[in-house]
Structure 1
Amino acid sequence: MSDLFFLQDSRSNVGSRAMFWRNGGGYTSNLNEAEQFTRERAVKQYESRQTDLPLPVGYTRAQSETGVDCQYLTRSEAEAYRNTDGRFYVAYTRDWDGNDLVWLGGSGPTANLEGAIHPGGEDALSYQSQGFELWPCGYINARSRPVVRASLLDHKQALRAAGLRLPKVKVERTRTYRNLTNCEGCGRFLTELQRFDDCPNCGARNAP
């Protein structure tokens, strides 16, 4: 039974990537930066904000893949990097999954670095001549991080396996009225039914 949980922000994703409560505040797609909550803290956070959904750490990491955020890459650093094995990852130009680079994989585009091809020498240069970008493997590996596609997360199944039942939180509902009119005497709002009686505030008649 899992006792550590991530909190997924269920309101939005970045590309296909799920977002999680970050250690220190805010949200992140990087599981290495996501805060881990005890069972009690996870439930308490859910009670105060129902958009933060608990997910067991083990379950979430089992669904993870490897992504590379383009915001943390610079071409000058990559070109100065000593690529000891002479191999490169091949990236599509101006194509992203959220902020993550999209790579040429064995069967087509993929944002999962684990499925990306990494040729070396003349083979790598041939892809560059076709308009792809080349990034040194060592440089990219050092800047990769575990991420999760939101579509792979099944909250009900994960929480059932962890033996966690989330409490039902009462949502306050505000009453809304349609076809409101103003009292001709005092200006207060009246419902469709009230307008056929004397105004409960000033006694004025409002019937058509």
Structure 2
Amino acid sequence: MEDQFYLQDSRDHAYVGDGLSFWGFGGSGYVTDLAKAQVFTRDGACDHRDTDIPWPKAYVDARARVGVDCQNVTLSEALEQYPDAAVFYIQKPQCWNGNKLIWLCEDGVFTSDISKAVVVPRAHTVTWIGKLGQSGAVVWPKPYIDAHSRRLVERDDVNIREALRGTGIKLAKLKKPKMMMFNCDGCGRFISDAQRYQGDCRNCGSDNRP
């Protein structure tokens, strides 16, 4: 039975674009880079908040993609380190998925997964740039980008029901937060937070805006 798990923070703000965030080593916060994610035992992964989701490590690893964080690369550094590079990747400018750069594939579509990107010989870079038309392109030396890539997983790559099938793990049903209620200043009737701003009290006409 699977006994190695990643633990995802499933709260809305924890997603980086479409990328899932996982607990980092030693309580170091949340990371998208699987190489920096803490690996839990089954018991350890199930002993956390309801919003923390245990994913079997083998399932996630098999569906990981390879991304490049725009914060970790600079074109000037890349060209300085690899002035004579023989092969290149083609990046779509001014386009990201979270922090991940977007790359051109051989069939003309785009992806955040660098392992699916077209690899272009130096002599053919101008031709490939022309295929992007007026939007232009950024050309990166392949060895530089490969050295700065990382394994990660996006929400469309995985399915939690499929991942947990046969593990016996059942996720807790998240409780919907209770609606904030207030008393009308005029008549004391209950009104919602939204109703305070939408108009005067329907019962007594009092203005309940803060």
Instruction: Sort the TM-score into its range (normalised by shorter chain).
Output: 0.7 to 0.9
Task: Return 5+ residue gaps in structure 1 as ranges.
Answer: 192-208
Residues 110-119 or 150-159, more deviating: 150-159
Find the aligned partners of 2:145 and 2:41 in 1 and give their Cα distance.
33
In structure 2, the residue matched to 1:57 is 57
In structure 2, the residue matched to 1:148 is 153
Letter in 2 for 1:31: L
TM-score where L is the length of structure 1: 0.76
**Contact 1:31 1:147 survives alignment (8 Å):** yes
**Contact 1:9 1:51 survives alignment (8 Å):** yes
Q: 1:177 offset after TM fit, Å? A: 6.1
TM-score where L is the length of structure 2: 0.76
Task: Return 5+ residue gaps in structure 2 as ranges.
Answer: 191-210
Find the aligned partners of 1:58 and 1:98 in 2 and give their Cα distance.
25
Q: Count residues with an aligned counterpart.
A: 183
Q: 1:30 offset after TM fit, Å? A: 0.8
Q: 1:83 offset after TM fit, Å? A: 6.1
In structure 2, the residue matched to 1:19 is 21
**Contact 2:5 2:40 survives alignment (8 Å):** yes
In structure 1, the residue matched to 2:33 is 30
In structure 2, the residue matched to 1:205 is none
**Contact 2:50 2:174 survives alignment (8 Å):** no
1:119 and 2:120 matched: yes
**Contact 2:85 2:122 survives alignment (8 Å):** no
Residues 126-135 or 49-58, more deviating: 126-135
- 1:33-182 mapped onto 2 (5 Å cutoff): 33-45=36-48, 49-82=49-82, 86-107=86-107, 108-128=109-129, 131-166=136-171, 168=172, 180=183
Q: 1:33 offset after TM fit, Å? A: 0.8
Letter in 2 for 1:164: I
Q: Could you say if the C-alpha distance between residues 73 and 18 of structure 1 is closer, same or farther in structure 2, counting changes exceeding 3 Å?
A: same
SS of corresponding position for 2:150: strand
Q: Could you say if the C-alpha distance between residues 72 and 173 of structure 1 is closer, same or farther in structure 2, counting changes exceeding 3 Å?
A: closer
Q: Could you say if the C-alpha distance between residues 172 and 88 of structure 1 is closer, same or farther in structure 2, counting changes exceeding 3 Å?
A: closer
The one-character-per-residue Cα deviations of 1:175-198 (angstroms, maximum 9, x if unpaired) are: 9767x45799xxxx677xxxxxxx
Find the aligned partners of 2:127 and 2:174 in 1 and give their Cα distance.
61
Q: Could you say if the C-alpha distance between residues 106 and 169 of structure 1 is closer, same or farther in structure 2, counting changes exceeding 3 Å?
A: closer
Letter in 1 for 2:114: L
**What is the RMSD of the two structures over their aligned residues, measured on CA atoms?**
2.8
**Contact 1:66 1:144 survives alignment (8 Å):** yes
| Structure with bigger gyration radius | 1
The one-character-per-residue Cα deviations of 1:91-141 (angstroms, maximum 9, x if unpaired) are: 011111111110010221111111111111221133456521011000000
SS of corresponding position for 1:32: helix
The percent of aligned pairs where both chains have the same amino acid is 34
* Stretches of 4+ aligned residues off by more than 3 angstroms: 125-130, 168-178, 180-184
Q: Could you say if the C-alpha distance between residues 112 and 177 of structure 1 is closer, same or farther in structure 2, counting changes exceeding 3 Å?
A: closer
Find the aligned partners of 2:144 and 2:59 in 1 and give their Cα distance.
29
Letter in 2 for 1:159: L
Letter in 2 for 1:149: E
SS of corresponding position for 1:92: strand
